[in-house]
Amino acid sequence: MRILIVGSGGREHALLWKLRRDAPEATFHVTRPNGGMAGECTPVDIDPGEAEQLSAWARKRRIDLAVIGPEGPLAAGLADRMAEGGVPVFGPTAAAARIESSKAFAKELMAGADVPTAACEVHTDPDRAAAYIEAQSGPLVVKASGLAAGKGAIVCDTRSQAAQAAREILGGAFGAAGRRIVIEEFMEGEELSVFCIADGEEYVTLLPSQDHKRVGEGDTGPNTGGMGAYAPVGLATAALLDEVGERIVAPTLRALAEAGAPFRGLLYAGLMITAEGPKVVEFNCRFGDPETQAVLPLLSSSLLDLMIAAASGNGLGRQAPTFARAAAVTTVLAASGYPGPYRKGDPVEIPPLGEGVHLFHAGSATGPSGLVTSGGRVLAVSAVAPDFAKARSASVAAADAISFAGKHFRSDIGWREERRRRQIRQ
């Protein structure tokens, strides 16, 4: 079997790691692999943005499954081009990927399907946006409708902050992504990431996880792509997940199918667990990073089988994924300066890591003298242990042991889970 993975971040390294375990005999091709993936695959020197070129390559190489990691190529129609060329593909069409690439589309779809989410209005005119904001009470979140690399949402405590954010985004702060903005109510609660694999109709749910977006301990400082994650999450009881399935995931998939855009791939529901129940913060059309690095090491059944069923559009309902009865904590090691301008080219030293510790590369490259940093989030260490506390201490110990100049990481990944466990014990 020949498998192509598009993308070269920590998420894609975790996908490669899991798929290699599922299919040790398969050959793996990866677009411009990072320093950790390079030794585990055949590199494909085509930019993931080159949809025509990449799909022609996949057709010629008779790729049996193309797995598309990042949202950019999906929104640009890479899955469509693969399917047109007869290449089985895991990842939604551009039309279905609008659930992430257009927040305005996602909000309209949710409103039509009665899916709980923050009340909102979509605006394109700064004066009308200002008038709407003036009429609101309570904190607001102002978002660019299009893809803005996770940076397009501004939480505003006051109406004047919100009006300024609206002006800035509509004025081009996030380029074309901000031609339309979504102004929505601020939701209070704990966030939860729920990954569902869908074949257009049916879906299965993976273990829920929790991301840590702020750069500093105690959730302080600027937002990042994600500084760590853990799974499973005590907050996500079976009853809560049933509610998420019935009120959020199933109606959303149904609405997409009815809109002529059935979703085949990974639907990531970013939720706020509020006092009134779970509500959608956003949908993503792909695996989350770094949540994938925490969730996949706990998936004991085959991911490949789920992906093949989803890609072929049937058979998913007959599969029930199974998970290890364990916990995983993922700590991201970031480069000096991240999430601002960061340094590259620092040598990375990796000592032997303990049992149950998986190392996923992201912004790393192999230079003439060995491994060096090449991105903002350099590595992710995921530790799997029988319980949360052990997983966290093993993850922190591994993050400590790896060295490169300017390395920084959060040693409090999963602090909410720890607080929850302390409360249960009391």
Using CA atoms, how far apart are residues 297 and 277, in angstroms rounded to an integer?
29
**Is residue 180 at the binding interface for ligand AMP, with CB under 6 A as the rule?**
no
Beta bridge partners of 205: 196
Segment lying near ligand AMP (by CB under 6 A), choices 107-115, 181-189, 358-366, 418-426: 181-189
Nearest to 228 by CA among 36, 30, 411, 354: 411
* Full DSSP string of 374-393: -SSEEEEEEEEESSHHHHHH
Nearest to 20 by CA among 358, 260, 363: 358
> How far apart are CB 88 and ligand GLY at their closest, in Å?
24
CB 210 within 8 A of CB 414: yes
**Is residue 289 at the binding interface for ligand GLY, with CB under 6 A as the rule?**
yes
**Is residue 100 at the binding interface for ligand GLY, with CB under 6 A as the rule?**
no
Question: Rounded to a whole number, what is the largest CA-CA distance in the chain?
Answer: 62
**Is residue 150 at the binding interface for ligand GLY, with CB under 6 A as the rule?**
yes
Segment lying near ligand GLY (by CB under 6 A), choices 20-28, 45-53, 283-291, 343-351: 283-291
**Is residue 282 at the binding interface for ligand AMP, with CB under 6 A as the rule?**
yes
Nearest to 159 by CA among 171, 142, 175: 142
Polymer length in residues for the chain: 426
Q: Which does 288 bind (CB under 5 to 8 A by kind): ligand GLY, ligand AMP, none?
A: ligand GLY
**Is residue 153 at the binding interface for ligand AMP, with CB under 6 A as the rule?**
yes
**Is residue 12 at the binding interface for ligand GLY, with CB under 6 A as the rule?**
no
Using CA atoms, how far apart are residues 255 and 201, in angstroms rounded to an integer?
10
> How far apart are CB 173 and ligand GLY at their closest, in Å?
20
Q: Which does 187 bind (CB under 5 to 8 A by kind): ligand AMP, ligand GLY, none?
A: ligand AMP
Using CA atoms, how far apart are residues 211 and 385, in angstroms rounded to an integer?
19
Q: Can you tell me which of 72, 126, 245, 270 binds ligand AMP, judged by CB under 6 A?
A: 270
> How far apart are CB 39 and ligand AMP at their closest, in Å?
34
Using CA atoms, how far apart are residues 306 and 127, in angstroms rounded to an integer?
48
Using CA atoms, how far apart are residues 144 and 100, in angstroms rounded to an integer?
12
Q: Can you tell me which of 281, 307, 334, 381 binds ligand AMP, judged by CB under 6 A?
A: 281
Q: Which does 385 bind (CB under 5 to 8 A by kind): ligand GLY, ligand AMP, none?
A: none
Segment lying near ligand GLY (by CB under 6 A), choices 25-33, 287-295, 310-318, 394-402: 287-295
Q: Where are the beta strands (DSSP E) in 150-219?
A: 153-156, 181-185, 190-199, 203-205, 210-211, 214-216
What residues make contact with ligand GLY under the rule CB under 6 A?
Answer: 150, 211, 226, 284, 288-289, 291
